[in-house]
Structure 1
Amino acid sequence: MPGTDLITLGRRIRHHRRERGLTLDQLGAKVGVVGSQLSLIENGRREPKLSLLQALSVELDVPMPDLLRDEAPDERTALEIELAKAQAGPLYSALGLPVVPASRSLPMETLQSLVGLHRELDRRARQSIATPEEARRANTENKAGMRERANYLPDLEQAAQDALASVGHTTGALTHRSVSLLAERLGFTLVYVDDLPHSARSVTDLHNGRIYLPPASIPGGHGLRSMALQAMGHRILGHTPPESYAEFLQQRLEINYFAAACLMPLEQSVRFLQAAKQRKDLSVEDFRDAFGVTHEAAALRMTNLATSHLDMRVHFLRVGEDGAVYKAYENDGLPLPTDVTGAVEGQQVCDKWAARGALARTNRTTEFYQYTDTPVGTFWCATQTGSMSDQGEFSITFGVPFADAKWFRGRDTQQRRVSTCPDESCCRRPSSELAERWSTAAWPSAKLHAHILSPLPSGKFPGVAENEVYQFLERHAGTLS
């Protein structure tokens, strides 16, 4: 009986046996098995043969389809089944506690309490705090998956094309009106408010069909069009509330990709980039300006399309003013710094790299170009800088191996550095002269990054304070006209 839930089947047999006032031994004698074997079946620990099930069906006067139904016959049996499944699961087993049999002598109130405790235990496990370590592990897994796919996701490209076709968008930059029309097709109205919960970039009211957004673009590139598209992406891509932090990050990756594919549509983007490559004049700046997006969004979109449509391997970096990696993708072999788990986020990039050097420039109106010699080869890159009020300055780098630099504007740069990282003598280890002079005389006070110690708020959606969101929705629900 493939797919049969043995615990539910066993409890249904027990229910009907008790209804007829039979003991295990009495029923066992009628169907030709010993009572102890029947007990194993009722407890879901042994699968009965079809012939035995047929005999039980006859003796209990219950049609076979009824005996095999998935539903519990009454409330108590449903609780017994839930308790048995919970105690057989890995979450309870890992505690090393004894199993409490759901016997007939167990009071109903006790059974309800035990099941309630297991539900809460499961809820807390599913909504466990997302630690920085967990975030790095999940990010590393996502990054490896993207590398295997050359940073290109055809299914999301198609979803974006279908969405644009549904509102008649064929060419040019995607307008706010087209974004609003797409929202309407999905049953939503875009509403701009100035009191969004501090932990949320947007809030979707599924009950009243509203997507709440801030009244203006957030500094740093999260434009209103992109934020609205990301919110709609959850619905279009069929997302359900994430059951793990890894799933949450995967969904975040997918909605960001979807939004970028809408703002920079596949056909138009590839045509633009291939023409620029043919002229040997590829440039993130031009791509950015052609579609009216941020520099970071343009660089990421080029990262998505370069391998599949331009036949080149690339790397992308977002680096903070302290030299730490915020975001990175590569499939060109660039030796990114990693920790012992393979995570990149939070690691320091070499100070010889353009991602660091660009932040030291006085004139930052144009991209900064550089060749960098590394232990695994020479890479060319273009870097632009920006700033955010809450994160300070940062740099965005898009680069390729030396052989593909010929396709890009800035390939004739004379800027060239040599990096021997991860060799610590490159930029991390002080010279012996400096170490001798200052090692016993220096006592710096480190700048503590609060986010390193602070876990994300727990809940259905990591990083979002649920009570704040629900109060916000309740407050605005009353304004519906």
Structure 2
Amino acid sequence: MNANDTNAEHDENMLDSLTVGRRIRQLRTDRGLTLDDLGAELGRAASQVSVIENGKRELKLGELQKLARILGVTVDQLLSPEAPSRRAALEIALERAQRGPLYSSLTLPSLPVRKSLSDEAIETILGLHDELKRLHRERAATPEEARRANTELRKSMRKRNNYFGELESTAKQLLDAVGHAGGPLSQRVASDLATHLGFSLHFVPDLPGSTRSVTDLRNGRIYLPVGQADGSDPRSTLLQALAGHVLGVGEPKDYADFLQQRVDTNYLAAALMVPEHTAVGFLLAAKSKRELSVEDLRDTFAVSYETAAHRFTNLATQHLGVPVHFLKVHEGGSISKAYENDSAAFPTDALGAVEGQLVCRYWSARRVFDISDRFSPYHQYTDKPGGTYWCTSRIQSSSRGYFSVSVGTPFATAKWFRGRDTTNRATSTCPDESCCRRAPESLADRWEKFSLPSARLNSSLLAAMPTGMYPGVDSTEVFEFLEHHDG
């Protein structure tokens, strides 16, 4: 029996005890008996009868038979699941609510159910309790809810071609305010931007492990780690913190809101590092020469390849008229991030989510891992069920292993890209299982009954998404950190 079964059984028993207790009280008062009267007949103290009527003790069969005889009813009538009256139903619901885990977590005093407590007051309390339950259900984002939120967010990004004009305007205003004319954004200019927004920077060795940065709004400080993780850009962490302040990011109301906040802050930070007005000019010039290249965008603005790839998808369709798709894929083949507005058919689950799905092993995002030259970009044409796509991929390392970052476009618009003359070609019929998801028949016949692999699964595969002030952040740790550094 699992925890859910145990809880359900406990709730059911509690409901029986409460209902039986209220029925006994109703029958006792209908017959004009006091607690002392019934206690004397039952051979119990009045206080023990009160405990029974309040549903705080389960009755044995012999006690039920004796009570039924005293009150002139059958045992079946005593055990009827229906509340004896509307008032009793309200009282039972209130008792159940107060005994539940949600009410206990609120650390509120117990509310005695007295006659002076009106039906309307009980209904109001129950309504508030139900609303709190609903909000807690929404906040406790399960993996399924997270996938739904990701799917909806990806749809909304596709509708606007992954271009956020209002955030581009905000980035321009901020850069103009610190006199940045264009080109790579230096660490000094990023610091100037922090000063312009009223923040001083503090690099500390004890930043909470669940955070990338902590912003102290009371003292106007941004705390950053002394050392940076491999492959990370110190400007990115600072700019994301500043973006969160500029956009007024607060405690998310649900997981979808949290994801949207992440997209907005990451977008604004990238727009500061790769400003629209200079990047578009650079890309238009490259397109006129048929030399579009994510590598060149990366080198010109001194950003990571992934940031350049993201930024390319922000601007390519809006300003160049080039539909694109983006993939970040783990070396094991699972999708970490994905975006498309060119109808590239990503693998999806039943909810339409692509995160965690395995990419076809013949796609560029997978084949790049087999290439020995990891210093040069890998280009490939892939014939897919929906058409032929050209794609450029690179590998980057991280603390979680190697990932490929890929940008692709349909065959018709591949003519604008450097690397379009590649001879690398593959055919994919996924999601048809015969493409790459099913082993060749000769291998399957030989090993299907003689293999027992142990899957490497995420440790939080069945866990709910982290809850709290911000998903995954230990708020107590953050507050203790700020208290330690205050003043």
Shorter-chain TM-score bucket reads 0.7 to 0.9
Unaligned runs of 5+ in 1: 1-82, 93-99
1:343 CA displacement: 0.1
State the one-letter code of the partner of 1:173. Answer: P
Offset from partner CA, 1:253-286 (integer Å, 9 cap, x none) = 0000000000000010001111111111111111
- Among 197, 205, 213, which residue is 1:202 paired with? 213
Q: Measure the CA separation in 1 of the matches of 2:214 and 2:464.
A: 21
Could you tell me which residue of structure 2 aligns to residue 397 of structure 1? 406
C-alpha distance in 1, partners of 2:397/2:460? 19
How many Å apart are 1:117 and its aligned residue? Answer: 8.4
1:279 matched to 2:289? The reply is yes
Aligned 8 A contact 1:126 1:243 in 2:
no
- 1:299 is matched with 309
Q: Give 3-state SS (helix, strand or coil) of 1:134's partner.
A: helix
Given candidates 385, 388, 392, the residue that maps to 1:375 is 385
Distance 1:114 1:401 in 2: 58
Q: 1:98-113 counterparts in 2 under 5 A?
A: 105-106=116-117
Q: Tell whether the 8 Å contact from 1:152 to 1:305 is kept in structure 2 after alignment.
A: yes
1:460 to 449, 469, 481: 469
The offset of 1:102, in angstroms, is 11
What's the TM-score, normalizing by structure 1?
0.74
Change (3 A) 1:126 1:259: farther
Residue 321 (structure 2) aligns with: 311
> How many pairs are equivalent?
378
**Are 1:128 and 2:139 an aligned pair?**
yes
Q: Is the CA contact 1:383–1:397 (under 8 Å) kept in the aligned structure 2?
A: yes
What letter corresponds to residue 283 of structure 2 in structure 1? L
> After the TM superposition, which parts of structure 1 deviate over 3 Å for at least 4 consecutive aligned residues?
100-104, 113-124, 453-456
Q: 2:346 is aligned with what amino acid?
A: L
Residue type matched to 2:225 in 1?
P
Q: Residue 152 and residue 103 in structure 1: after superposition, are their counterparts in 2 closer, same or farther (change >3 A)?
A: farther
Structure 2 gap ranges (5+): 1-93, 104-110
Kindly tell me: are residues 209 and 435 of structure 1, through their superposed partners in 2, closer, same or farther at Cα, counting changes over 3 Å? same
Residue 128 of structure 1 deviates from its aligned partner by 3.1
Give me the TM-score of the superposition, normalised by structure 2: 0.73
Instruction: Summarize the Cα distance change of 1:116–1:460 in structure 2 as closer, same or farther, 3 Å threshold.
Output: farther
Stretch moving more, 434-443 or 252-261: 434-443
Query: Given that residues 313 and 332 in structure 1 are in contact (C-alpha distance below 8 angstroms), is that contact kept between their aligned partners in structure 2?
Result: yes
Residue 441 of structure 1 pairs with residue 435 of structure 2: no
Asked if the contact 1:127–1:460 (Cα under 8 Å) also holds between the matched residues in 2, the reply is: no
1:298 CA drift (Å): 0.1
Q: Deviations over 1:108-132 (max 9, x none)?
A: xx99x96998499469717833322
Q: Which residue of 2 aligns with 1:416?
A: 425
Structure-2 change in CA distance of 1:118 and 1:188 (3 Å):
farther
Residues 380-430 of structure 1, C-alpha deviations (whole Å, 9 max, x = no match): 0110001112x1111000011001111111111000000000100000011
Once the two structures are overlaid, the 10-residue window that deviates more, 297-306 or 434-443, is 434-443
Q: What amino acid sits opposite 2:336 in the alignment? A: Y
Aligned to 1:172: 183
Tell whether the 8 Å contact from 2:146 to 2:465 is kept in structure 1 after alignment. Answer: no
With over 3 angstroms needed to count, the CA separation of the structure-2 counterparts of 1:141 and 1:124, relative to structure 1, is: closer
The alignment yields a C-alpha RMSD, in angstroms, of: 2.8
- Structure 1 residue 315: deviation in Å? 0.4
Give the counterpart letter for 2:195 in structure 1. Answer: E
**1:140 aligns to what?**
151
Query: Secondary structure at 1:355's aligned position in 2?
Result: helix
Aligned: 1:338 with 2:357: no
Secondary structure at the aligned position of 1:301 is classed as: helix
What is the rounded CA distance, in whole Å, between the counterparts of 2:397 and 2:471 in structure 1?
A: 26
Q: What SS class does the counterpart of residue 399 from structure 1 fall into?
A: strand
C-alpha distance in 2 between matches for 1:343 and 1:209? 39
Question: Is the contact made by 1:126 and 1:244 (CA closer than 8 Å) also made in structure 2?
Answer: no
User: Alignment partner for residue 435 of structure 2, among 418, 426, 436?
Assistant: 426
Task: Tell me the SS of whatever aligns to 2:265.
Answer: helix
Secondary structure of 1:358's aligned partner: helix
How many angstroms apart in 2 are the aligned matches of 1:240 and 1:439? 52
User: Is this contact kept in 2: 1:372–1:416, CA < 8 A?
Assistant: yes
The sequence identity of aligned pairs, in percent, is 53
Indicate yes or no: 2:483 matched with 1:474: yes
Match of 1:193 in 2: 204
* Shift in Å, 1:232: 1.2
Mapped contact 1:127–1:459 kept (Cα < 8 A): no
Give the equivalent residue in structure 2 for 1:227: 237
Secondary structure of 2:405 counterpart: strand
Q: Do the aligned partners of residues 216 and 104 (structure 1) sit closer, same or farther apart at CA in structure 2, a change above 3 Å counting?
A: same
* 3-state SS of 2:383 partner: strand
Cα distance in 2 for partners of 1:363, 1:410 equals 15
SS in 2 for 1:197: coil
In the alignment, the residues of structure 1 paired with residue 113 and residue 315 of structure 2 have an alpha-carbon distance, to the nearest angstrom, of 58
State the shift of 1:447 in Å: 1.3
1:338-361 CA distance string (max 9 Å, x none) = 000000000000000010010111
Q: In the alignment, which of 393, 416, 422 is matched to residue 407 of structure 1?
A: 416
Correspondence list, 1:225-264, <5 A = 225-264=235-274
More deviation, 371-380/163-172: 163-172
Which residue of 338, 348, 351 maps to 2:358?
348
